Chain A
Amino acid sequence: MGYVAVKGGTLAIEESIRRLKYERVKKGKVLDVESVECGMRGLIDQVMSESSLYGETLAAIAIKQAEGNPEEAVFLMRAYRSTLPRKHYSRTVHTGEMRVERRISASFKDIPGGQILGATTDFIHRLIDFELMNETEEEAKIWLSAFERQVEYEADDTDLNRLPKVSDYLRAEGLIADCGNDDQEPDDVTRTSLKFPASRSEILQVLTRGQTGAVTAFAYAVIRGYGQLHPTVGELRVGDLPVCIDDPIGRSDPDDAYYIGDVKVTEVEMLIPVTVEKEHGKKELEFDIGYGVCFGQNETKAIAMGILDNSLSAKHPEYPSQNQEFVLYHIDSVEATGFVSHLKMPHYVTFQSKLDSVRKTRKSKTERQEVGSP
Chain B
Amino acid sequence: MQRKRRTEILINGSREIPARLAQQIAGRYEVNTIEEPNNGLVMIKARETAKKSLFYLGEVFVTECKVQIGGAIGLGIVKGHEPELAYQLAVIDAAYQAGLDETGHWQEVLTAKEHEIDQRRKARQSKILQTKVIFETMDDGE
Which A residues have a C-beta under 8 Å from some C-beta of B? 48-49, 52-58, 81, 84-96, 99-102, 109-110, 114-119, 148, 152-153, 155-156, 158-160, 165, 167, 179-186, 188, 190, 200-201, 204-205, 208-209, 242-245, 247-249, 254-263, 265, 267, 269, 288-291, 293, 295, 309
**Residues of B contacting A158 in the complex (Cβ-Cβ under 8 angstroms):** 129, 132
- Nearest residue (CB) in B for A85 is B40
Map CB proximity to A onto B36-61 as digits: 1 under 8 Å, 0 otherwise: 00011111111111111111111111
B59 touches A93 (CB 8 A): no
The answer for the CA separation of A165 and B48 in the assembled complex, in Å, is 12
Contacts A54-B79, A95-B47, A186-B45 given; 16 further ones with Cβ under 8 A?
Answer: A54-B60, A55-B60, A84-B61, A85-B40, A85-B41, A94-B47, A118-B131, A165-B49, A182-B52, A186-B55, A204-B55, A205-B56, A243-B60, A245-B77, A254-B4, A258-B93
- 25 contacting pairs across A/B (C-beta < 8 A): A53-B59, A88-B77, A89-B43, A89-B45, A93-B57, A94-B46, A153-B130, A165-B49, A201-B56, A204-B55, A209-B58, A243-B60, A243-B79, A248-B75, A256-B3, A257-B4, A258-B3, A259-B7, A260-B78, A261-B79, A261-B80, A263-B79, A267-B49, A291-B49, A291-B51
The answer for the CA separation of A179 and B135 in the assembled complex, in Å, is 33
Q: Write the nearest CB–CB distance from B109 to chain A, whole angstroms.
A: 18
A160 touches B61 (CB 8 A): no
> Which residues of B from 1 to 58 have beta carbons under 8 Å from A?
2-5, 7-8, 11, 39-58
Map CB proximity to A onto B95-113 as digits: 1 under 8 Å, 0 otherwise: 0000000000000000000
B138 at the interface (CB under 8 A from A): no
- How many residues of chain B are within 8 Å of chain A by beta carbon? 51
**Residues of A contacting B57 in the complex (Cβ-Cβ under 8 angstroms):** 93, 205, 208, 265, 293, 295
A114 touches B46 (CB 8 A): no
A57 touches B7 (CB 8 A): no
Majority SS at the chain A contact face: mixed
Q: Write the nearest CB–CB distance from B72 to chain A, whole angstroms.
A: 11
The answer for the CA separation of A52 and B60 in the assembled complex, in Å, is 8
The answer for the CA separation of A209 and B57 in the assembled complex, in Å, is 8
B60 touches A263 (CB 8 A): yes
The answer for the CA separation of A160 and B123 in the assembled complex, in Å, is 12
The answer for the CA separation of A26 and B71 in the assembled complex, in Å, is 57
Contact of B77 among A156, A201, A258 (CB under 8 A): A258
B53 touches A90 (CB 8 A): no
A93 touches B44 (CB 8 A): yes
Which B residues have a C-beta under 8 Å from some C-beta of A? 2-5, 7-8, 11, 39-62, 64, 73, 75, 77-81, 93, 121, 125-133, 135
**Residues of A contacting B49 in the complex (Cβ-Cβ under 8 angstroms):** 95-96, 165, 167, 267, 269, 289, 291
A260 touches B11 (CB 8 A): yes
B80 touches A156 (CB 8 A): no
Given A87-B41, A109-B135, A260-B42, A55 and B80 contact (CB-CB distance below 8 Å): yes
**Residues of B contacting A115 in the complex (Cβ-Cβ under 8 angstroms):** 132-133
A256 touches B128 (CB 8 A): no
A188 touches B58 (CB 8 A): no
- Nearest residue (CB) in A for B2 is A255
The answer for the CA separation of A220 and B5 in the assembled complex, in Å, is 44
A188 touches B56 (CB 8 A): yes
The answer for the CA separation of A160 and B131 in the assembled complex, in Å, is 12
Contact of B4 among A94, A209, A255 (CB under 8 A): A255
- Nearest residue (CB) in A for B128 is A101
Given A81-B41, A263-B60, A309 and B50 contact (CB-CB distance below 8 Å): yes
Contact of A56 among B52, B80, B128 (CB under 8 A): B80
Given A245-B77, A248-B75, A93 and B46 contact (CB-CB distance below 8 Å): yes
A99 touches B42 (CB 8 A): no
B64 touches A152 (CB 8 A): no
Contact of A92 among B3, B46, B132 (CB under 8 A): B46
A93 touches B47 (CB 8 A): yes
**Residues of A contacting B47 in the complex (Cβ-Cβ under 8 angstroms):** 92-95, 181
Q: Write the nearest CB–CB distance from B15 to chain A, whole angstroms.
A: 14
Q: Which 7 A-B pairs have the closest CB atoms?
A: A261-B79, A55-B61, A289-B50, A291-B50, A87-B40, A201-B55, A182-B53
The answer for the CA separation of A91 and B77 in the assembled complex, in Å, is 14
**Residues of B contacting A201 in the complex (Cβ-Cβ under 8 angstroms):** 53-56
Contact of B58 among A54, A87, A185, A257 (CB under 8 A): A54
B80 touches A57 (CB 8 A): yes
